[in-house]
Structure 1
Amino acid sequence: MKFHLLVVYPVVVAVLSGSLHMAFNTPRHGEPVPAIKKDSLTRTSVFSIDDVERIKQFFISNAALPEQPKDSNWRPGYRHKCINTVRGALDLLLFGESSIPDSLYSRQPVLNGNFLNNDINALAKRLRDSHFIRSYDTVRFLSMRKGEWVPITKADPVSRGLQPVAMEKSLWNTLLARVGKERGFSVFLVSVCDGYHAALLTLDHRNTSELKVYWSDQTHKHPWRFYVNNKLEEVPGKYGWEVMHATGPEELLNGSARGLDAYMLYANKKFWCDCGRPNQKPDECCAGNCFPYIQIWRLQKTM
């Protein structure tokens, strides 16, 4: 990756950079859970300023590349697709460097799958088996059937074909439950619509009165947005790192951060209806393109 330094007025640069170098807490040890072998005394689930800055720059740089050709899983010089973007970011987050920006494969075997299992569930399993995942949670969706709320489950062939209408619980609150009283930054692997899309969520829980989360993926649906002195800023033409709050609209509005729960409901509805046609109309729905279901895994690294 190439980075260019712009030496202009320091205040302007600080605002446009959205720098995370704003006094982070030092990492704390995660509690060991030997029974399920997810934690150990040599792992931490609170990440440093340098860890988060590395993945931020990777997501922004990757999103700036041309979109990967439709007939290719990977070609050099193009933007990685979602699962490979996540793998590249995890390489930087967990190991400090990555070959994935210039290759499809990592030097770390835990991040590499073959063409049959290069998906988010297989990646999560490899990370869990190697103790890079601390905890796991899910969020199901609800729909209406005969005037009553019903959970959408794979075990129910009727409900699984229903359109998602509401989330069974808050994803935001689920993230907070995972971090508890720890303070700092936590990073979550997230599966949207049962693996239809993969992304990372970086939770800023340094200060309980200023909680926020950053959504990062390879698309141009998430502009580079951040807060400076409590003012929402956006860098025009840059994507891959969008700040979100507990509450807020599902759509991008000037001066207002999106709400994580509102966006996740919107995204699962959108993916559920996605026909995959180039000229699909906004109100066109294929009904059941993917299963509405969110999975999150809290990541941890070797200290």
Structure 2
Amino acid sequence: MLHSFRFLVKTLLLVAVGACLSYGQVASPKADVKLLKAVPDRLKVEPALLTATDLSRISDDELFSRYRKTVVMEGRINNFMDQPTGDKAVRRYLVGQKHELSKQAIRIGEELARRNEQKVNAKWSHNRAFWAHEVQRMKQFFLANVETRQKTGKNLTCVNTFRRGVSFLYDRSGDVRKSRNPLVRYGLSVPPDNSIEALMARAQVCGMASPARVVQCISPWGRKIEEGNWDKPVKLNENVWDVLMGMVNDDPRYSVFCLSLADGYHVATLTVDNRDRSNPRLYWADQTNNHNDGWEEYQKKDSGHPTKYSKNSVRGLNEYILYAIQEFWKRDDPHNRPTPIIRIWRLYNNPSRSHLYTELKG
């Protein structure tokens, strides 16, 4: 008993000493000053850009200016990080700065989207829904993209597939590679990084997307799984089909959504055909060949076969989403699993700040 007590005391003392040493290393002001001096002036971020201020009190123009400065700094850091050389401590520091800038950009996007939502919803559905020929351009891209994958084994990532596909909604010429449309050239077609939250923040700032609608999963203990929690998902806390139809808001024509599964682990494009408002139809598109030919229809009720597409039986949206999230949760290392959270953004057909797109070139 005495031996065990002594061992416990020694262990606690060692932990305490280690913590003190670590704290001293992190908190050394001399080390911080030396590190900051080593950072190039063009990569030093204005402290104001990282301040968690009350964004609701800032005007639209000031928010846009703040956002532009943020993405410009992100771009500079990205360019620096692309170079293989450089001080390792400086690179680690800049990675942290970029992460903080990205969080602030997402906050700005959500705030502007919240303000824009009131304006968009107050107008006729032309500001929200898309026409059949616009959706047809996007659909043809998804079909061709999956066909290319099947033939060559090469494909875009899920985020870049979404970005490229929805660009066809806004490009009136039908060829985004040669488009002169600023919505395409400086908007969703620009790949700043592979974070869907950062991409949708850019769309929100330019009036192209709604605020994110979050759907959570339920843990085996009956609790909602919050961000940063890796509990096993056993069911959804809401019916995603009903959430989407609520966001459609009974608009005629087509409504297009960005779907983020498992905290951005996978991204898909959902399209609701609401021309017959008594019988809306929903289609799923992504970069995989798991969804028919790249444009698979889903329904509200469960089918009993969420794992595999069938020509004779339409899969249920909710059952497939839960199955996919559970698969993503199982695939990764237990210490690095994606948070089982779903985010949904609605795309708007008539961006309210399109004239500001060219300012995003940075």
TM-score interval w.r.t. the shorter chain? 0.5 to 0.7
Q: Does 1:151 align with 2:199?
A: no
**Cα contact 1:272–1:288 (8 A) shared by 2:** no
1:141 aligned counterpart, secondary structure: strand
Normalised by the length of structure 2, the TM-score is 0.57
Q: Does 1:163 align with 2:232?
A: yes
> By how many angstroms is 1:262 displaced?
0.6
Q: Does 1:257 align with 2:314?
A: yes
Once the two structures are superposed, residues 77-111 of structure 1 have per-residue CA deviations (whole angstroms, 9 ceiling, x without a partner) of: x422211111111110122334459xxxx952122
**Cα contact 2:233–2:340 (8 A) shared by 1:** yes
Residue 323 of structure 2, aligned match among 255, 263, 266: 266
**Cα contact 1:143–1:150 (8 A) shared by 2:** yes
> By how many angstroms is 1:134 displaced?
3.2
Aligned mates of 2:147, 2:137 — CA distance in 1: 16
> By how many angstroms is 1:253 displaced?
3.4
> By how many angstroms is 1:35 displaced?
6.7
2:149 aligned counterpart, secondary structure: coil
Structure 1 stretch 250-259 or stretch 160-169: which is displaced more? 250-259
Residue 88 of structure 1, aligned match among 146, 161, 164: 164
Match of 2:249 in 1: 180
Q: Does 1:109 align with 2:219?
A: no
**Cα contact 1:45–1:186 (8 A) shared by 2:** yes
> By how many angstroms is 1:120 displaced?
1.0
Equivalent position amino acid for 1:295 in 2: R
- Consecutive unaligned residues in structure 2, runs of 5 or more: 1-111, 352-362
Equivalent position amino acid for 1:170 in 2: N
**Cα contact 2:302–2:315 (8 A) shared by 1:** yes
- Consecutive unaligned residues in structure 1, runs of 5 or more: 1-32, 71-77, 224-238, 276-284
**CA pair 86-196 structure 1, distance change in 2 beyond 3 A:** same
Once the two structures are superposed, residues 3-45 of structure 1 have per-residue CA deviations (whole angstroms, 9 ceiling, x without a partner) of: xxxxxxxxxxxxxxxxxxxxxxxxxxxxxx9971244569611
> By how many angstroms is 1:136 displaced?
2.9
Once the two structures are superposed, residues 249-287 of structure 1 have per-residue CA deviations (whole angstroms, 9 ceiling, x without a partner) of: 213334110000111101111111114xxxxxxxxx857
Once the two structures are superposed, residues 39-78 of structure 1 have per-residue CA deviations (whole angstroms, 9 ceiling, x without a partner) of: 45696111111011111110000111137999xxxxxxx4
> By how many angstroms is 1:209 displaced?
3.1
Match of 2:108 in 1: none
Once the two structures are superposed, residues 193-251 of structure 1 have per-residue CA deviations (whole angstroms, 9 ceiling, x without a partner) of: 1101111000122223322210001101101xxxxxxxxxxxxxxx2100000112213
Residue 294 of structure 1, aligned match among 334, 342, 356: 342
Residue 63 of structure 1, aligned match among 146, 150, 154: 146
Normalised by the length of structure 1, the TM-score is 0.68
> By how many angstroms is 1:289 displaced?
2.3
Greater strand share, structure number = 1
Equivalent position amino acid for 2:274 in 1: H
**CA pair 100-121 structure 1, distance change in 2 beyond 3 A:** farther
Q: Does 1:191 align with 2:260?
A: yes
Q: Over the residues paired in the alignment, what is the CA RMSD in angstroms? A: 2.9
Aligned mates of 1:254, 1:108 — CA distance in 2: 38
Equivalent position amino acid for 1:204 in 2: D
2:163 aligned counterpart, secondary structure: helix
Residue 201 of structure 2, aligned match among 103, 110, 125: 125
**Cα contact 2:113–2:209 (8 A) shared by 1:** no
Match of 2:295 in 1: 241
Aligned mates of 2:190, 2:113 — CA distance in 1: 26
**Cα contact 1:68–1:79 (8 A) shared by 2:** no
1:210 aligned counterpart, secondary structure: coil
Equivalent position amino acid for 1:87 in 2: R
**Cα contact 1:162–1:288 (8 A) shared by 2:** no
Match of 2:210 in 1: 134
Aligned mates of 2:168, 2:297 — CA distance in 1: 20
**CA pair 154-69 structure 1, distance change in 2 beyond 3 A:** farther
Equivalent position amino acid for 2:344 in 1: I
**CA pair 269-288 structure 1, distance change in 2 beyond 3 A:** farther
**Cα contact 1:45–1:134 (8 A) shared by 2:** no
Greater helix share, structure number = 2
**CA pair 100-257 structure 1, distance change in 2 beyond 3 A:** farther
Structure 1 stretch 259-268 or stretch 43-52: which is displaced more? 43-52
Once the two structures are superposed, residues 113-163 of structure 1 have per-residue CA deviations (whole angstroms, 9 ceiling, x without a partner) of: 556x33211110000000011343110000112xxx1111126xxxx2211
